Amino acid sequence: MKIIKEIFSWVIPLLIGFLIAYALKTYVISIVKVDGTSMYPNLQNNERVVMLHYAKIKRNSVVVFNAYGVDHNNPTIQKDTKYVKRVLALPGDKVEYHDDGKLYVNGKYQSQGYITTTQQTTGTLKAETVLTRNAAVPLGTDSSFTVPKGKYFVLGDNRAVSNDSRYYGFVTRSKILGVVKVPFWNNKAKLINSY
């Protein structure tokens, strides 16, 4: 009997610890690996980032979402494929993206200081790609669109190579898994965590 009590004295705390860790990983915070260069230079290929499951999504937040059922252009998408992108507009926002690279959301100019001028202009508007632009997302002077209710407009920071809302359209809220944060010692932390 004494041996059984001794075993339970360390098994039960261990089991509780595993359950707490599982609950935190599933419902609060997870580590996610960035795969590819669509967020370069602010996030690197293979970089590990923290994803907060219930953080508020704001304009310019970097988010992780399940791409399955969103990106119909990529035949390699699996049920657990995750994309990391930046939210440029929220549900109901009216977006205007001019030829000079200036972004206006609901008539207000939005700085894109997290990317270069080249990415704001050529990278965003004239990206060389085999993908077809989504008709619901017209970009360029004299064009505008409104983000549908319950959906988000997302772009990668490395716009010249990013497969994003310009091609597959808007991302439904239910597909967004969480908001990305990086440690304070990361030299790009301000460009990721400030939003």
pLDDT, tens only, 50-67: 999 989 999 999 999 999
Q: For this structure, is 85 an active site residue? A: yes
User: How big is the chain, counted in residues?
Assistant: 195
Q: Phi and psi dihedrals of 188, rounded to 5?
A: -105, 10
Ordered by start, the domain boundaries in the chain are 1-29, 34-193
Long-range Cβ pairs for the range 187-191 (8 Å, 24+) = 188/41, 188/42, 188/43, 191/42, 191/113, 191/114
Tokens 């959301």 found at: 105
Give this prediction's pTM.
Answer: 0.86
Q: 131 pLDDT exceeds 80?
A: yes
Query: What does the mean pLDDT of the chain come to?
Result: 89
**What's the pLDDT score for residue 12?**
65
Cα torsion angle, 166, 137, 127, 42, sign = negative
Which CATH homologous superfamily contains domain 34-193? Umud Fragment, subunit A (2.10.109.10)
**What's the pLDDT score for residue 107?**
96
* Mean pLDDT, rounded, for 86-96: 98
| Nearest residue to 32 via CA among 13, 18, 46, 22 | 46
**What's the pLDDT score for residue 7?**
67
Q: For this structure, is 38 an active site residue? A: yes
* Mean pLDDT, rounded, for 15-28: 58
Q: From the candidates 38, 61, 162, 165, which is the catalytic residue?
A: 38
Q: From the candidates 85, 151, 175, 181, which is the catalytic residue?
A: 85
Determine the longest span between alpha carbons in the chain, in angstroms: 80
Q: According to DSSP H, which parts of 55-172 are helical?
A: 117-118, 124-125, 165-168
